[in-house]
Structure 1
Amino acid sequence: MRWIHQELPIGCTCWPLEQLVGMCPPESEFAAAPDCPALAEQLARLAIEGDEPACAELLERILRSGIGMVEVYQDILGGTMRHVGEWYHLGAIDVAGEHAASSIVERLMYRASQIFGHGIPTNRTALLGGGPETWHVIGLRMLADVLRNQGWRVIFLGPNMPVPAFLKAVETRKPDLVLLSCHAVRSLDGTLEMIRALGSYRRTLPSGKTFLIGVGGGFVRNHPEYFRDAGADFQSEDLRSFATRTLPEIDRILGEGGHWVQDTFTRPRPSASPAF
């Protein structure tokens, strides 16, 4: 595949989220705009069979179509994982198929992240991870890639982090933003414990040295009150809302040295893909 180098637009420190694949040459194999739902289902069927070469080839075609990062991550890769999750819960595929698909999607995300690249550093740090018994963190990885693309320094701790170890990382790395995920009831207690511990630590910090706490995931969408009451600052419905609404608000708050005042803990409409 050939890629064309382009200079950043004047006044921009990173590529706008919806225009990033404009760096690709106009070699789209699609007659019209890509049908994201159909592509997500096609990719899911290939992924549960473990056909990584076919998945990679399809991703290359998608990237050549010129659609943006949010569409690739949320509508196609996120849609792929939504299909996989639904088929697994219906008993249509087994654990092996679910794991094969998840592993392939993670590798496809790595490939896509290479294409979309990193923005010019903003001197801001985000730390992301799953608390105790939180094993599904593909959504968090998507957020990590978007933040990195927008110039953030990103520290991704992965799944099932013990609370003391997570807190130690926060103390050491001094992030501006901490993001957690909770998709299932089994991870609820650990995630709430993490949020409370982060809140307690944050209250010991001097003014101007604090950080924001965000949370997302399927369980958060259904029971936002648990996480609001535990002390999280915000929730995000999905990757698109995070990129277009939440992240600009975070930038504003950090730039002004203020506090989160917007109540995002409302019961949102069903999302097309997992938030975190």
Structure 2
Amino acid sequence: MVAQKVVVESVSAHEMTLHEAAEMLDVHYMTAYRYVRLGLLPAHKAAGTWRVLLSDLRQFQGQNPEPIDVEDSRKKNVLWWERLEARLLAGDGSGAWAVVEAALVAGVSVEDIYTKVLSPAMVSIGDQWARGDLEIYYEHQASAIVGRIMGRLGPRFVGRGRTKGSIVVGAPQGERHGLVVSMVADLLRQRGWEVFDLGADLPAQSFIAAVKNTPDVVAACVSVTSPSARDAACELIAALREASGDAVPIYVGGAAVLSAPDAEELGAHGWASNVDVLVGLLEQG
């Protein structure tokens, strides 16, 4: 039987179906599909069909002149967040989870999945939107997928034994970025605290009520990602300090808080530039 020539132009001069890409790579379709699911080969879905840009295929072939061992590729030092970002932008929830599973199999810790895979992917997508390179729906789509991934990973962060006390975490009214709040909550749970996650966009009085009604509260943490929410954060922190008689330490962090003096200007007791710094502040009391 004479092998049929692959006609790349069947889709366009610049892209092809995944079936055609598999033929050009000389691999089975399911192998090519796994390349896509693991973020090794960029692809997008159109009219229910996976399609690959010719430029992406050529780059993939240049990096991998022979069919690659998917299992072996999982164990190499790769930028998992870039693979995840590709799946998030494609709206591929199953593929995004496959990337996370592959990273876990390769030895990436659950904590690093949050801080070195999910977070950088979302920051990159947010930056692209801010530059005008992406429509906002891409960020919303990615946030929804990451939220589902975190829902699956969350139980792995629950510690055992006695807790170090209770922490209330949330974002001020007008701050709509809730994923970072949930990430911090899970990471603190892993370190031994009981954490009450209030999510995003919470009125100050509700935040205060939560702190007052939380037993054994040792701190309140305020997340500020958007510069436009700084005024609301300042008002929230002042109200929390007044309501607690300054007895509950209040720590602030997020992309809109750039330094310790910045945190002090907002009225917080300390600046948490990352989770490790926050843990240090909490353990110092």
**Please, which of 156, 159, 182 is the counterpart of residue 197 of structure 2?**
156
- 110-119 or 169-178: which moved more? 110-119
Shift of 1:224: 4.7
Q: Distance in 2 between matches of 1:145 and 1:57?
A: 21
Q: Name the counterpart of 2:51.
A: none
Q: Distance in 2 between matches of 1:188 and 1:31?
A: 41
Q: Name the counterpart of 2:248.
A: 211
Q: Distance in 2 between matches of 1:146 and 1:135?
A: 20
Q: Distance in 1 between matches of 2:271 and 2:263?
A: 8
Distance 1:33 1:235, change over 3 A: farther
1:41 matches 2:82: yes
Distance 1:94 1:144, change over 3 A: same
Shift of 1:184: 1.9
Q: Name the counterpart of 2:41.
A: none
Task: With a CA cutoff of 8 Å and minimum separation of 6, indicate the structure with the bigger relative contact order.
Answer: 1
**Please, which of 175, 181, 184 is the counterpart of residue 134 of structure 1?**
175
State the secondary structure of the residue aligned to 1:215: strand
1:197 matches 2:235: no
Unmatched 5+ stretches in structure 1: 1-27, 205-209, 254-276
State the secondary structure of the residue aligned to 2:257: helix
Rg larger for: 2
- Tell me if structure 2 keeps the 8 A contact 1:34–1:62: no
1:235 matches 2:278: no
Shift of 1:213: 0.7
- 109-118 or 64-73: which moved more? 109-118
The number of residue pairs the alignment matches comes to 215
Distance 1:163 1:117, change over 3 A: closer
**Please, which of 48, 51, 65 is the counterpart of residue 92 of structure 2?**
51
Q: Name the counterpart of 2:128.
A: 87
Distance 1:171 1:57, change over 3 A: same
State the secondary structure of the residue aligned to 1:101: helix
- Tell me if structure 1 keeps the 8 A contact 2:233–2:266: no
State the secondary structure of the residue aligned to 2:84: helix
Distance 1:90 1:213, change over 3 A: same
**Please, which of 185, 200, 217 is the counterpart of residue 227 of structure 2?**
185
More strand by share: 2
Shift of 1:132: 1.1
Distance 1:184 1:224, change over 3 A: farther
Distance 1:252 1:85, change over 3 A: same
Letter aligned with residue 173 of structure 1: T
For normalisation by structure 1, the TM-score amounts to 0.71
Q: Name the counterpart of 1:247.
A: 279
Identity %: 24
- 193-202 or 115-124: which moved more? 115-124
CA RMSD between the two structures: 2.1
Shift of 1:116: 4.2
Shift of 1:123: 4.6
Letter aligned with residue 248 of structure 2: F
User: Residue by residue, what CA displacement relative to the aligned partner does 1:149-197 show, whole Å, maximum 9, x if unpaired?
Assistant: 1221111111110011111111111421111111222101110000111
- 226-235 or 98-107: which moved more? 226-235
Letter aligned with residue 69 of structure 1: V
Q: Distance in 1 between matches of 2:208 and 2:158?
A: 29
Shift of 1:125: 0.4
